[in-house]
Structures are given as C-alpha cells and as structure tokens.
Chain A
Amino acid sequence: MIQIHTAKGEKASYFNEREHQICLMARLIEDGKTYWVAGGGSPMASILLAKKLYAPNAVYVTEDGVLAPEPVLPFDPIMTMVSSRAGYRALQWGTMNSIGFHAQMGYMDYGILNTLQVDPYGNINSTLLGDYESGEFRRFGGPGGADSIASLCWRTILMTDHQKRKFVPRVDFISSPGFLDGSEGARERAGLPRGTGPYLVLTPWALFDYEDRYLRLIGISPFVTLEQVLAEMSFRPKMADQLLTLETPTEEELTLLRTEIDPRGQVTITGDIGRWIMRREDGSFGPADEVEAQGGDPNLPRSW
C-alpha cells in the first residue's frame, strides 16, 4: 500500500495543476530513502518541498554526481545541475560514472522522471514523436540520464501531464525501460537488474501504480471526474477497487513552493502548468474560469 504524508493546515483556495502535482509528489516522498531525480523541473521541486515538510532525511542525487546537496535557491535559468548553486553543501561531489555505479549497485531506492510519453507497461519515451525508421518524426533531446534512472533505481516514479497524447498504448520509442512488453521477467531477460521497475505515475489529475506490470488507476484529483481522467488516455488502465481522492495543496505547501523553492516560477508559472483551480463556496474545487463564471466566492483569500 502506498504511503502518502498527510498535509496539515489550511487548504489553499487557488492554485494551478502543476503546483498541485508537485505538492502531491512531495507527499509521496519516503523519509530516509535515496532518490535519483531528473535535473530541474517538477521532480526536483517535489523532493525539495518534501524535504522541507515531510521527509527531512530523504536524500537526493543528480546525474552529475552530486550527493545530498543543500542547494541555493532559486537556480539560474537552465543551471539546475552542475552549477555551484545546485551542488552547494553536498556530502560528495562525484561524477556521472560514480552515481551511475552507485545506482547499479543498488543504492538508489527511487528515481523520479518526467516523460514525453508513457505506455501501460511504464515504458518511457523522451527521444521522439513519430516513426524512427521512416524518419518522419519530431525529435527531442534523448534519454539523458533517464535510461539509467529507470533501469537501476529500485522503483521508478514518473511525473507527466494528463493528456491523451502522453498515455499511449505503445510509446513511439523506448528511451528508458519500463516493464518492456509487460511479460514476467522481461526486464531481467534484457539484462536489467532483478526487482526493479516502474512504481507510480503521477499526473495533476490522477495517481497510478502497477498491477501485474500494467498501469492501474488508484486515485484522482477532486477537480476532475473519472470520465475526464479516462477520456484523456489512449488506453484503458486497470482500476483499483477503491479510488483515493488526491488532496489539493495547503497554503503552507504553496507558500514554500512559491517563495523558497521556485520564486521565479520557472517550474510553476512559465511553460505548461495546466489550468488554475479554485475553491467553490461549498468547499469543492473546479477550474478557476468555471468557478468564476458560476459566481465564485469573492470572500475567499487568494493564495497568489
């Protein structure tokens, strides 16, 4: 059973979907465990928030060999790894080889990654959209360190947006391995370490785990319906018997995120942050434009 930290204090009345996802991810971080996080973006914001509120003894490493840093925030644009601010007060400065070998020996409990596409078996595509062989594709950077994170950490957690084009029956290119064809032992047959693999997928709308190496829906956010969640997926996931309701952010979480972790809004304001979500008079949540069209609640303090 998945452990989720309980957020204390007042619920925020106004937030965007990216902020919601990061706060959820922070509550999933297990204290006292090691995390290999993708540089910058939502994964790193999540672990930084978790360390402040829920998991002070969680340790993270980055691809450039930085082990357990206490970074100086905010980062300069693009400088989320290998910079002096990102690596500040680490316990060790190693190299990509050293961190890769640590993970290969089993020291990394979790990996947290973003992805372009994910399939029901947790395979990850960060290379291209389209067909590799024919040359008809739109190319992105490549796996970077993600392949090693997804291969070598004991459990891999994915953060992605909840969109039909992201949840596909087959990824266009397996940049980083999930359960491959989904058969038992497929990873081991490909030479990957025993007992590793995809663990969770978290979107702003929903939380998934895996049952028999196939994606299973286990929770949804209170501002979307089950129908909406399923409509934005190109395949049908397995379903848990009971769906969790994913709690929205607290004021305390958002304040830390907005003032200390990402004060420039590089992760939570610019780029694709999803919709703004607002609390209704009855305490339920909905997209801000809909809530406002319905009259909203003018007495509510806004978090932003």
Chain B
Amino acid sequence: MSDTEAHLKKFEKELAAGTVSLVLLAVLAAAREPLYGYQIAKRLERDAGGVLVGKQSALYPVLRNLSAAELLDTFVEPSEAGPPRRYYRITPLGRKVLREWTGAWNSTRRFVDSILKE
C-alpha cells in the first residue's frame, strides 16, 4: 500500500508544480481586492482541501516569482492588529497571461480526458 502512496505523492507534487502558478493567478484575478499571502493560502485550503498546493509554504516563493515576472503587483501595508502584510494584485499583463494559460490548460485537459476515456 505504502508503495503506491509514494507514487501518488510524487505525481501530485509534479502536477502541483505546473498548475500552482495558474491557480494563484486565477484566484487573484477573481478577487475584487488585493489579497495577502495568508488569505490566499486559507482560500485555497477552503476550496481545494490541500489537494493541489500541498504545503502552504510552497505558495510564497511562487507569489514572489510571479511578481518578479510582473504578472502580479505587490505592496506592504501595516495592519491594525497583526503584522505588516504583503498584498498581491493581478496586473493587466497577468490577466493577459492568465487567458493564454487557461487556453493551454483547457486543451491539455481535453487531451488527457480523451486519452483516459479510450
């Protein structure tokens, strides 16, 4: 049993590596206001139950790289109760990229589905 589990873990990890950027962009595109890292993590935890992203610490490096690639905007704001928070917001370039990525995702999914059905 533990044999297949290791394979499943590895497969999930590889799937997540490719899709987590897409998921983060989509979450930020759907949000009406800028979100901070913890909020994004909680949102994914609620919706996906940790299926896709694995450990939440993996989100932060990806967020940082997306903003380095100028797909996201970022700024720090102090909060009343908690620590200062780094907020992220999608840029127009990010929206354009998201549209293209969504297209690529849809065609990949259709292809994989058709193969699995055979």
Same assembly? no
B residues at A contact (CB < 8 Å): none
